[in-house]
Structure 1
Amino acid sequence: MFSKLITNDRFKSVEHRVLVGQAGSRTSVACLFYPSTANYNSKPYGAIKELLSDNSQPRYREASMAEYMAYTRSRALDDSSNLSHFKLA
């Protein structure tokens, strides 16, 4: 979901589900975004400036990784998006 916040909904996270079968092996590929631990509490993350224009304003407010993760961990594990908390009016 964090990829939606920083790309202003242009790139969407994939829901990860695995079915293990008897034929072949399972392969997983991960693309990771890991913020600097020095800026974990203070650096605000928001829409990438190059993805914004007059026709494409930010959809989510900026948030530090600490704030984003604290809110994500405080929620129930369901299929609803945690981004509604950060959505701009």
Structure 2
Amino acid sequence: MILNFTTPERIKLMRESERMSRSEASKEWGLKSDALWRYETGKAVPNIDVVTSMLNHPRFEKYALWFTTEKIAPEAGQIAPALAHFGQENLESPPLRKNAG
């Protein structure tokens, strides 16, 4: 299954999966709250130093592989954030039905 999350979506998913407010995450990552808002909404792109800082934080390092490749390696402690805000939606298309006649 290929999901192809954008960088803003990935940042927000990590934060929400840790049940952190934007203010809490900003403090943990050493960012201004408005900077994190801009990153999560796609108004700004975090540079590599910001992303590295986020992924090196002890609370978020478990998402590093997923953040960069959308792959996981649970045996190495690398997981994906919970997709809670995506609900119980089925990500596959239903089969097509043809009516006879």
What TM-score do the two structures reach when normalised by structure 2? 0.21
The higher-RCO structure (CA 8 Å, 6+ apart) is: 1
> Which has more helix, going by share of residues?
2
Greater Rg, structure 1 or structure 2?
2
> Which has more strand, going by share of residues?
1
